[in-house]
Amino acid sequence: EAKHRGGGAWQWFSHAMDEGMQLQVEMRAFIHDAINQQQFELFYQPIINQKEEIVAVEALIRWQHPQRGFISPAEFIPLAERSGQIIAISDWVLERACGDRARLKELGIPTISVNFSPIQFYRDDFIDKIKAAVENFAIKPGEIVIEITENVLVRDSEQIQWQLEQLQELGFSIAIDDFGTGFASLRYLGTLPVNILKIDRSFVQNIDHNQRNAAIARGVLAMTSELGIKAVAEGVETDAEHEYLRKHDCALMQGFKFCKPQPLDKLADWVKEQKKVARKEPLK
């Protein structure tokens, strides 16, 4: 799938992965330049409720390389995780997301959802950094959702549990991203502080006629309802998928059907035209 999306840049990256060290060193230099020359941008994609009002926007990083063109985060984030550069990238993302929060708030958007890498959780200063960022920008933690994948839970789970508990105590919401695709045990749902499960796009695709996907998604919806937590269906693209999910009481959705990830200015225009914002319904 990534092959189709990434085009030339993907080929270059996958080639580099095959070639091993030397090109990986080159890529590190590329990412280093991207950080220093501010080649990154943060796009935002709405998460909507059943009335199609925006309850949150997810921040998604974009990299437009001056020579190589668009490089997908699905390709460079894993590389940056290996090289350790994910920390610098994540610092930039957090800073920018917090910086953009004021404008999003003006638009009436109650929450911002930010992707975090497992690598960040393995650093001692992780919680202090988030605390400092929200304090600097006078943001209430309740306005921020921390998205993590299940894989964060696989390693050193006591330490992770403690960190998540701290974050939740501070008021942040915790979302498990790409739910159902990771390697963690379901048992974590019994003990970990989790507010939101994001049902991975692979289960949402063709949900209206793929009975296995439908069964899995309905199972997750029943489970979240019993647990008293929220579910977001990711990657809703078609009317039929939307309709099916709505019929099965999926309250929250995200996908190209509603809105693609946009730069902040474009998102602001879109919101002003549509005026669909759930001011008093944060994603928590």
Q: Which residues bind Mg ion (CB under 5 A)?
A: 115, 147, 177-178, 234
The answer to whether 93 and 66 have CB atoms below 8 angstroms apart is: no
Q: Does 71 bind ligand C2E (CB under 6 A)?
A: no
Q: Considering CB distances under 5 to 8 angstroms, the limit depending on partner class, which of ligand C2E, Mg ion, none binds residue 73?
A: ligand C2E
| Residues across the chain | 284
Site for ligand C2E in 137-166 (CB under 6 A): 147
Backbone torsions φ then ψ of 263, nearest 5 degrees: -65, 155
Residues in contact with ligand C2E, total (CB under 6 A)?
24
Site for ligand C2E in 35-54 (CB under 6 A): 45
* Residue 230: closest CA among 213, 208, 249: 249
Burial state string for 185-204 with b = 16 or more CB within 10 A and e = fewer than 16: eeebbeebbbbbbbbbbebb
* Residue 60: closest CA among 239, 255, 233, 275: 255
- Among residues 6, 46, 261, 282, which is the contact residue for ligand C2E, using CB under 6 A? 261
Question: Mapping DSSP to helix (H, G, I), strand (E, B) and coil, where does residue 55 land?
Answer: strand
Q: How far is the CB of 15 from Mg ion (least distance, A)?
A: 24
Cα-based angle 145, 150, 155 (whole degrees, multiple of 5): 115
Q: Considering CB distances under 5 to 8 angstroms, the limit depending on partner class, which of Mg ion, ligand C2E, none binds residue 235?
A: ligand C2E
Site for ligand C2E in 170-229 (CB under 6 A): 177-178, 201
Closer of 25 and 74 to ligand C2E (Cβ)? 74
Q: Considering CB distances under 5 to 8 angstroms, the limit depending on partner class, which of Mg ion, ligand C2E, none binds residue 53?
A: none
The owner of tokens 């920018």 is 96
Q: How far is the CB of 61 from ligand C2E (least distance, A)?
A: 4
The maximal CA–CA distance of the chain, rounded, in angstroms, is: 53
178: left (phi over 0), alpha (psi -120 to 50) or beta: left
Q: Does 241 bind ligand C2E (CB under 6 A)?
A: no
Q: Considering CB distances under 5 to 8 angstroms, the limit depending on partner class, which of Mg ion, ligand C2E, none binds residue 143?
A: none
Closer of 23 and 192 to Mg ion (Cβ)? 192
Q: Which residues bind ligand C2E (CB under 6 A)?
A: 45, 59-61, 72-74, 77, 90, 93, 115-117, 147, 177-178, 201, 235-237, 254-256, 261
